[in-house]
Amino acid sequence: MHLPLLTQIVLACLLGGLLSVAAAALVMFGLPRKWMGFTVSFSTGLLLAMATLHLLPEALESGLTPHEVFPLLLGGILAFFMLEKFALWRHAHGGTGESDAHPGAQQCDDHSHSHHHLPDAEHGATMLILIGDGFHNFTDGLLIAAAFLADPRLGWSTTLAIIAHEVPQEAGDFAILLAAGWKRGRALFWNGVSSLTAVAGGIIGYFALDNARDWIPYIITIAAASFLYIAIADLMPRLKRETKSVGWHGVLLAAGVAIVVFGTAHSH
């Protein structure tokens, strides 16, 4: 028996938020740091393929013309850039490799202690990080709702892509909060609370878009813009700095693309 559409949206938003926080916590608190690089590789392939092979074709098949889709795509990419510049939509964190830099260019592999040498401004920025991430997760919820209203299979594919790209972001959040002196439990709790704003976004998106289905192709195009922006502006620059296990990074990037290709072939 199929679950009601709203139930699927809420479940997807919960999974998208809480699973990404849990996976990031595992990487930050126990698993080898190289796993984060592998996550970035997989996420990059998944996001690029989802945007170009699934979301944009769906928007075009829904009735939008190329002259409508591609200007909106460009505007969306530029809008996400501006939102990030004004710290309203956080994504480009340094992650485990950059946020833990110590004086003398030494990297910190131990995420269990506080970095009390950080300036007071860094401590004061922690709430802004959580507020920005809450807004980002709320946006993810709207995008998930739009994808489910277009096609439940597209909704679950979009949720998978969001889970994958949220893991590096959440790990970066943990690194910054721990560096500001937060305890592990506190950082985990508030990151989890921030992730729940996706549920609010999903519910609002469902009721708002269910009565305005003509807007769904536009929201899907904005989702493609966000995926492309994250992949190109955030994740790919990290991959360029990877010098170890290059073969595995290539395999995982290809795996992310292959999942979308396989899913697209079976949905048509």
Read off the amino acid at residue 21: V
Residue 89 resides in a domain = yes
pLDDT score at 1: 45
Residue 109 resides in a domain = no
| Enclosing domain of residue 153 | 31-100+129-266
Distances (CA, A) of 110 to 126, 181, 183, 240: 20, 13, 13, 24
pLDDT score at 108: 45
The CA angle 179-185-190, to the nearest 5 degrees, is: 80
Q: What is the mean pLDDT of residues 156-180?
A: 79
Residue 116 resides in a domain = no
How would you classify the pairing of strands 106-107 and 101-102?
A: antiparallel
Q: Are 221 and 55 in contact (CB under 8 A)?
A: yes
Name the band, by pLDDT with cuts 50, 70 and 90, for residue 167.
Answer: confident
Q: What is the mean pLDDT of residues 167-187?
A: 76
Total number of domains in the chain: 1
d(CA 66, CA 76): 15
Partners of 107 in the beta sheet? 101
Residue 215 resides in a domain = yes
Q: Please report where in the chains the tokens 């984060």 appear, as a residue.
A: 36
240 burial via Cβ count (<10 Å: 0-12, 13-18, 19+): exposed
In the chain, beta strands by DSSP E: 101-102, 106-107
d(CA 142, CA 204): 7
44 vs 268: which has the higher pLDDT:
44
Portion of the chain with pLDDT greater than 70, in percent: 76
Residue 113 resides in a domain = no
d(CA 16, CA 142): 12
Best CA proximity match to 188, nearest among 17, 7, 22, 52: 22
Q: Are 56 and 260 in contact (CB under 8 A)?
A: no
Q: Are 17 and 164 in contact (CB under 8 A)?
A: no
Partners of 120 in the beta sheet? none
Residue 202 resides in a domain = yes
Residue 10 resides in a domain = no
Residues with Cβ within 8 Å of 19's Cβ and at least 6 positions away in sequence, in order, are 163
Query: Poorest-confidence range of 14-23, 31-40, 151-160?
Result: 31-40
Residue 41 resides in a domain = yes
Neighbours of 19 (CB within 10 A): 17
Neighbours of 80 (CB within 10 A): 22
Q: For 172, how many CA atoms within 13 A lie in the half-sphere containing its CB?
A: 22
pLDDT score at 249: 76
pLDDT score at 34: 62
